[in-house]
Structure 1
Amino acid sequence: MAPNSAREPARASNGNGTGANAAPAPASDDVLPIGPPSGLSSIPTQYIQEQSLRQMLKNIGYDEAREDTYRLKGVQLIDTVRQSLQLPVKTFDTAATYYHKFRIRFPSAEYNYEDVALASLFVACKVEDTIKKSKEILCAAHNLANPGDNKTPDDKIFDARSRFTVGLERHILETIGFDFRVQYPQKLLIKMVKRMFPHNNTETDSEGQQFLRVAYDMSIDLYKTFAPIKQPTFTLVTAILELTSLFLKAHKDKIRALKERAWHTETGCVLETMLDLMDLYTQFPKSTKVGPMFEINKLMDVKIDLNKFVSKDRYQRYYGWCDRCAQESPEAHPVTPGSATSPATNNSSSVKRTAKTNEGTLRFVFNAENARQERELVAEYFTDEYEEYEVEVEEPIRESDGRHAGRSGGGHPHRNHGHEHGWSPYPRGRGGHHHDRHRGRKGHGHY
């Protein structure tokens, strides 16, 4: 039997690669095949504005006094453990960024800040290719907290916490949306300081080293604020240089020589970052590296001067702030505290999932345009369309039966031609007459 011609491959072709027996070009519908439903798509964002950040903190019932302390302690724990394990500063930047992104979505009542900080450092070690086992990180944190009780990573006391850290690692990856983009301001900071202080003489080198020492410690303190998840690298570095020159009261002309437009930043963004750092230095000076270097009166004077400059030139405290949006934002109800089964008090390896997913699979897409095209392509197969129309229907009227003829007719209600069909509206008396329903009651009728 001859093979089916529809299944026969094309064998003859001309010089251009096409011929009489060539297979037809695929239709436009075959280019993008219809697959399974896209589920729930999540597009990660690298930066979050202050207004959106405050709304997210309000949704989790953010307690400012308590959560600020947890934020400082968590970043400080990451820094000390990083130094103990001799990890580079880029691992610290990555871990602190993941720590902030996780804590703005989940309250501390559900997840202990120490567990989140160590798990963020564990994820950052993998991302930055500075591999450390979870037990090594837990052991370093234990030895720092208990100097007289040094342990080794092979100790069995770290088995349960290691399983929990691995489970929390998956949750951190989903929280950041598998977006591993992190900025490293220290690298750019060193380049800009070298541009400000070229190697001409010994005096310039000493001034540059002193300036870099303060600026580099300030770049570490910067991660104790939310500025790294709000501003790009150029803005962070410019704010550090400006604030360092104000603290040292020197080299202002060299800072002004750096054009902000050439470094892809705005004055409002730089002022916002500087004020974020000044809030940190004036409220928690002992929890920072740069705060103990200067007197508190000097720090307050710098902050007052910055506030005067903002109000004089009519800058906003937070760049891009919308007063109308702040008034129209709905009031969020604070979440309830964690229960006894919360991972903060439970050492099991299972992690509490609080993502609000009703159906489908949560997918993370990095191209917003592709996600929009996919959503439009799939939406037509899952959209219910309804059409309303009116139909006139004639219903026949049912004829009354003989049992209720006495009720519907105009005659006597009890006259049924001698037949007792149906019910009587009034009970009969003992005398037998059907008109004596008031018999025996005085003042009603006759006796």
Structure 2
Amino acid sequence: MAPTGPRLSHPQRRPTPPLPIDESPKGPSPGNIALSNQFRFEQGIRRLQKEYGCDPAREDSYRIQGVQLIDSVRQALRLPVKTFTTACTYYHLFRLCHRDAEYNYQDASLASLFMACKVEDTIKKSKEILCAAYNIKNPEHPTTQDDKVFDSPHKIIIGLERHILETIGFDFRARYPQKVLIKMVRYLYHPDVAQEMLPMCYAISIDMYKTFAPIKASTFTMALAIIEVAALLSDTAVEKMRSLDLTKYHTNRRHVLEIMLDLLDMYTQFSKYTDVGMRFELSKFIDVKIKLNQEVDNSEGALRRYDIWCERCEDSDKIKYPITPGSATSPAATGSSSGKRSKSGHEPQTMRFVYDAEAARKEKDTNDEFTKQEYEEYEIEVEERIAEPEPRQHHPRDRGRHGPRTHHESSWGPYPRVRHDRHKSGRKGGYY
């Protein structure tokens, strides 16, 4: 027989009632906080290039041509090498954080030089820099900075300058390896040998800025890598260079080896765009590169091509960026935009730049106390009454066993008399 009493069901979780909305006025949003970063790792550089859609087939070419343009204009305006190194640093950082199709690489290089002139206190007007670049490109028809042809490019340079300031986070620090390089060459070698090596070391230090080494390595790392490459190319006292205690210079062999291989990659692939690459045969650079690769292979894992590399991050990047997308149009044929573009449709927030990471963390924790949303979850046990089962409807042929049938029972039962009758229909529809 069916049970007649109530039953208790298992406890069920009901949705949490909504909390009352706090309609008290809140202060303005603190905006976004950006921390400056002086160094980039090779894996991070590649990730940024994939994220912003850089075409690897053109990236190296435009990077080298932009640095060459900075160097040519710097020499035409007789600016010091410190301005050149600062401009190249800003140029590399800017190109890593902006899509190629949004600007022209020549405009970006000239804007970086314009801002570096302000930072290094070698003030030059934007039209002076544009005029020098124009005269280098058109030596047959030189002009002056008062020409009206520079009115439109002048506005583009000013607009790109604001983007560069945001990219570097208003952190104007840069590294100058040339000064340390000259002191170390004089310290390591005899004056006669040092006098022969200094011109080559200085030329390598200029060529090095056509790679990403200046934003990856410290000053001592760059200086030591330059000296050792010059010693290997000239076969001059290589063992004396390698006998140094690198811990005194706040670096290690892995860092130095990475910068050396970056330089040799450039000399083997783009030798005609460099100064030192035109002085030696290509086989000389290949032989030196083979020796360094053998040193990496024979180190039994102590040395690697790139000092800092995460295999798990590399696997996740392959899944996230299966194919490196190329930019839609060539940046050489695309004009630069001087206006600020918003990546989303929301109202842009204030961007603030700080240098102390601990101070930014404390400020964020303080702000979270007033903006975080708290939720409470309740679990309530309730008793629910189970409905009684409906009485079973007997089949017509069981009429004799269960007494006489009522008028309701004599009508159609839960199923048709003939099972296929429910599929039959006349012209007017319905059963018949």
Q: TM-score range by the shorter chain?
A: 0.7 to 0.9
Q: Any conservation in 2 of the 1:214–1:290 contact (CA below 8 Å)?
A: yes
The aligned counterpart of 1:107 is: 99
Deviations 1:374-429 (A, max 9, x none): 0001101111111122568999xxxxxxxxxxxxxx987xxxxxxxxxxxxxxxxx
Structure 1 residue 359: deviation in Å?
5.7
The aligned counterpart of 1:122 is: 114
Q: Which amino acid aligns with 2:79?
A: L
Matches for 1:282-301 after TM superposition, within 5 Å: 282-301=268-287
Q: Which amino acid aligns with 1:312?
A: N
Max Rg structure = 1
| Aligned partner of residue 147 in structure 1, secondary structure | coil
Q: Any conservation in 1 of the 2:40–2:215 contact (CA below 8 Å)?
A: yes
The aligned counterpart of 1:146 is: 138
Q: Any conservation in 1 of the 2:41–2:216 contact (CA below 8 Å)?
A: yes
Q: Any conservation in 1 of the 2:52–2:99 contact (CA below 8 Å)?
A: yes
Q: Which amino acid aligns with 1:374?
A: E
Change in CA separation of 1:304 and 1:60 when aligned onto 2, cut-off 3 Å: same
**TM-score normalised by structure 2 residue count:** 0.78
Q: Which amino acid aligns with 1:267?
A: R
- The reply on whether 1:389 has 2:411 as its aligned counterpart is no
Distance 1:255 1:215 in 2: 14
The aligned counterpart of 2:157 is: 165
Q: Any conservation in 2 of the 1:139–1:151 contact (CA below 8 Å)?
A: yes
Distance 1:230 1:82 in 2: 24
The aligned counterpart of 2:417 is: none
- The reply on whether 1:185 has 2:177 as its aligned counterpart is yes
Q: Which amino acid aligns with 2:205?
A: S
The aligned counterpart of 2:242 is: 256
Residue ranges of structure 2 left out of the alignment (5+ in a row): 1-25, 385-405, 409-424
The aligned counterpart of 2:414 is: none
Deviations 1:130-170 (A, max 9, x none): 00000000000000000111010010000110011001100
Matches for 1:4-153 after TM superposition, within 5 Å: 36-153=28-145
Distance 1:348 1:57 in 2: 20
The aligned counterpart of 2:366 is: 377
Q: Any conservation in 2 of the 1:160–1:347 contact (CA below 8 Å)?
A: no
What's the C-alpha RMSD, in Å, of the aligned pairs?
A: 3.0
Change in CA separation of 1:359 and 1:385 when aligned onto 2, cut-off 3 Å: farther
Structure 1 residue 324: deviation in Å?
2.0
Q: Any conservation in 1 of the 2:107–2:336 contact (CA below 8 Å)?
A: no
Distance 1:76 1:112 in 2: 15
Change in CA separation of 1:281 and 1:346 when aligned onto 2, cut-off 3 Å: closer
| Aligned partner of residue 75 in structure 1, secondary structure | helix
Structure 1 residue 440: deviation in Å?
11
- The reply on whether 1:325 has 2:313 as its aligned counterpart is yes
Change in CA separation of 1:269 and 1:355 when aligned onto 2, cut-off 3 Å: farther
The aligned counterpart of 2:351 is: 362
Distance 1:443 1:185 in 2: 96
Change in CA separation of 1:444 and 1:265 when aligned onto 2, cut-off 3 Å: closer
| Aligned partner of residue 117 in structure 1, secondary structure | helix
**TM-score normalised by structure 1 residue count:** 0.76
The aligned counterpart of 1:245 is: 231
- The reply on whether 1:316 has 2:304 as its aligned counterpart is yes
| Aligned partner of residue 42 in structure 1, secondary structure | strand
The aligned counterpart of 1:432 is: none
Distance 2:427 2:258 in 1: 98
The aligned counterpart of 1:421 is: none
Q: Any conservation in 2 of the 1:343–1:351 contact (CA below 8 Å)?
A: no
Matches for 1:326-365 after TM superposition, within 5 Å: 326-329=314-317, 330-332=319-321, 337=327, 345-346=334-335, 349-354=338-343, 360-365=349-354
Deviations 1:170-217 (A, max 9, x none): 01100111111100000000111111235xxxxx43x22220111000
Q: Any conservation in 2 of the 1:110–1:338 contact (CA below 8 Å)?
A: no
Residue ranges of structure 1 left out of the alignment (5+ in a row): 1-33, 199-203, 396-409, 413-437
| Aligned partner of residue 304 in structure 1, secondary structure | helix
Matches for 1:422-441 after TM superposition, within 5 Å: none
Question: Between the two proteins, what is the percent identity of the paired residues?
Answer: 51
Distance 2:105 2:207 in 1: 18
| Aligned partner of residue 48 in structure 2, secondary structure | helix
Distance 2:83 2:222 in 1: 18
The aligned counterpart of 1:305 is: 291
The aligned counterpart of 1:195 is: 187
